[in-house]
Structure 1
Amino acid sequence: MPLDNPTRHALPLNALRAFEASARLGGFARAAHELKLTPGAIAALVKTLERQYGAALFERHAKGVRLTPLGESIKGQFTEAFDAVEDAARTLRRLAAPQRVHIVTSPALAHLWVGPRLPQLTEMLAPIEISVTAVDEVPNLKRSPFDLCLFYTDRLERGQRALASEEVLPVCVPALAAGIRSVDDLAQVRCIAEVDWNDWEVWAREVMGAPFVARGPGFSLYASAVQQALLGAGVLIGRRSLVQRYLDSGELVAPIARAVPLGLHIAAWALPAAKGNRSVAAVEEGLAQLAKC
């Protein structure tokens, strides 16, 4: 009598991924952010997993969740397993599309640094295809579908390549600059800032020798702050690497020509799985060449 070959038990992969992310990151909310789901969806997936296996993996509390001893004991195995799956997926992507390079960077650098250089970079490196994704934070290097990182850093680490050293200075449209003759005049105008950066503070400490509070609108997207400056809405504390093309064109000017080093570098580095990839290396080298222009 012929016997059927045994088949693997169907794994609840979505639920297992929800458990692994929650265990690794320390909660359902953080796992939801990483997996692009809601905390409620993560909680439901984990609950489904617990019902299927008949054991609790998390203890629920008013302030969050905590792994049970069982959950703690298996957390590492699932993290290693999903890391291996991600690594295999990256290998598949690289072999399937060897001339496609995916850059991950911050929103500000994507809009104001990479974006303006992308047409020339694409022309230089054809037929390499280049795509760009903007994220708020440097991604988990073991879980990223990207090839090349491009972010600000205050300290260069092994494998990172500095493309530019950043400095800040006030910039505005020429009409507004006509009324600014000294640093004291800044107290009388609207001063635009990126709300998560302390660039005005760094510049004022060096140039004015005293604290300075920007009296004007703040923006969470630096590209929006630049756009407001271009519309004449106020004086922006500009990162030179991000506003230089507007200074070159004359759309913006520096009413007080005093730039202050910010202590940050724009750095590029290949993700571990992309090291040794000629296309990725070519894109990094191309960005370094265009950074000098």
Structure 2
Amino acid sequence: MLKHWPPLNALRGFEAAARLGSFHKAAEELHLTQSAISQQIRSLESFLEQPLFFRNGRSVALTDAGFDLLSTTQSLLQHLAVGIRRLDQYRKPNQLVVNTTPAFAHHWLVPRLADFHQRHPQVDLWLLTTDETPDMATQTINIAVRDDLSAQAECSFRVLLEDRLYPACHPSVLELAADARTTLHGEREMDWSHWQVQGGANVGQQSQGLNFSDPGLLLDAASQGLGIALVSHLLAGRARDQGLLVPMSEQTVRGPNWSWLVRRENEGDPLTRSFCDWLTEALGGSCGALERSGRG
């Protein structure tokens, strides 16, 4: 990292003059005087301790160093412009930022977002997926819905649903001999050791196989027939309804708790309230199915 940087205005003046091949045209484009452009480029050359242009009367041409710097400067200015334009999303009047895990977004939330948008078209929803639990105090997030949350300061914490886990696979895998089935391993509660500790029956799982850190990818792999996996009842509902997954046992065991964190300052906000009410209602059907599963 450089200790000292040339002024941004000097780089803009250089880029315009180099691209247009004229100090005069650069001055017109940037609404400056030609003298100001010349001064910016002289200061940049002084900073770099080498010439960037050959000057012959009113005509100018880039030196080799100038050609080199032009590509770097254009890339820098383009990235900066994109980054600045992207900031517009933070000041949209009806924006609601919802954080969740990639697995929950892909397998549960996104398939239901059309219903939310139809009911609340005024909400400009920004779905922010992260593997790491967010820090609500330092990040611009209104609501977090995840299975790895605990209470945080200045936020309302609520457990929404207690998940259940069960072993499952694609129907084609059931046709294989038990010793020919690949075992798919996850992390945390999706690890087969959790199934065993909770008293789960042996369904032919092996210690070796394929390993996944993302429960969403684990579920995808099982749905595509790669092997047997311990899956979330909540996340696997769609795949099961589509016939891509079948349970290997009627038994289920305790899974993670799905919870939300809502900034207290946003609790009374109509946008936040609309999403929270919709989410509670949408999870209601899943709660009933999970309760029946838990009794099984």
Distance 1:171 1:215 in 2: 17
CA contact (8 A) 1:141 1:272 kept: no
Distance 1:98 1:285 in 2: 20
In the superposition, the TM-score normalised over structure 2's length comes to 0.58
SS class of match (1:115): helix
Corresponding residue to 2:194 among 185, 189, 202:
202
1:161 aligned partner: 158
Superposition deviation, residue 115 in structure 1: 1.7
- Measured on the aligned residues, the alpha-carbon RMSD in Å equals 2.9
Q: 1:223 to 1:198 in 2, by over 3 A?
A: closer
Q: Provide Cα deviations, 1:169-204, integer angstroms capped at 9, x if missing partner.
A: 111111212457xxxx4x652111224555321212
1:2-17 paired onto structure 2 within 5 Å: none
2:115 aligned partner: 120
CA contact (8 A) 1:268 1:284 kept: no
Distance 2:189 2:230 in 1: 10
Distance 1:93 1:278 in 2: 19
2:96 is the alignment partner of 1:104: no
2:130 aligned partner: 135
2:238 is the alignment partner of 1:245: yes
2:183 aligned partner: 191
1:170 aligned partner: 167
Q: Provide Cα deviations, 1:199-218, integer angstroms capped at 9, x if missing partner.
A: 32121221238xx6543111
1:281 aligned partner: 273
Q: 1:164 to 1:178 in 2, by over 3 A?
A: farther
2:141 is the alignment partner of 1:149: no
Aligned residue-pair number:
195
2:228 is the alignment partner of 1:270: no
Distance 1:111 1:130 in 2: 16
Q: 1:289 to 1:214 in 2, by over 3 A?
A: farther
CA contact (8 A) 1:170 1:237 kept: yes
Superposition deviation, residue 147 in structure 1: 0.7
SS class of match (2:136): coil
Structure 1: gaps of 5 or more residues: 1-91
SS class of match (1:164): strand
Q: Provide Cα deviations, 1:257-282, integer angstroms capped at 9, x if missing partner.
A: 211112x2111221244232121111
Distance 1:146 1:197 in 2: 26
Q: Provide Cα deviations, 1:20-48, integer angstroms capped at 9, x if missing partner.
A: xxxxxxxxxxxxxxxxxxxxxxxxxxxxx
What is the letter of the counterpart of residue 227 of structure 1?
Answer: D
Q: Provide Cα deviations, 1:134-188, integer angstroms capped at 9, x if missing partner.
A: 11222122111111011114767882233321111111111212457xxxx4x65
Distance 1:155 1:138 in 2: 9
CA contact (8 A) 2:184 2:218 kept: yes
SS class of match (1:169): strand
Structure 2: gaps of 5 or more residues: 1-87, 286-296
Superposition deviation, residue 103 in structure 1: 0.4
In the superposition, the TM-score normalised over structure 1's length comes to 0.59
1:20 aligned partner: none
Distance 1:195 1:237 in 2: 10
CA contact (8 A) 1:163 1:268 kept: yes
2:252 is the alignment partner of 1:255: no
Where has structure 1 moved over 3 Å in runs of 4 or more? 153-158, 195-199
Q: 1:123 to 1:162 in 2, by over 3 A?
A: farther
Q: 1:252 to 1:208 in 2, by over 3 A?
A: closer
1:48 aligned partner: none
1:67 aligned partner: none
1:70-85 paired onto structure 2 within 5 Å: none
Superposition deviation, residue 242 in structure 1: 0.7
Distance 2:159 2:190 in 1: 22
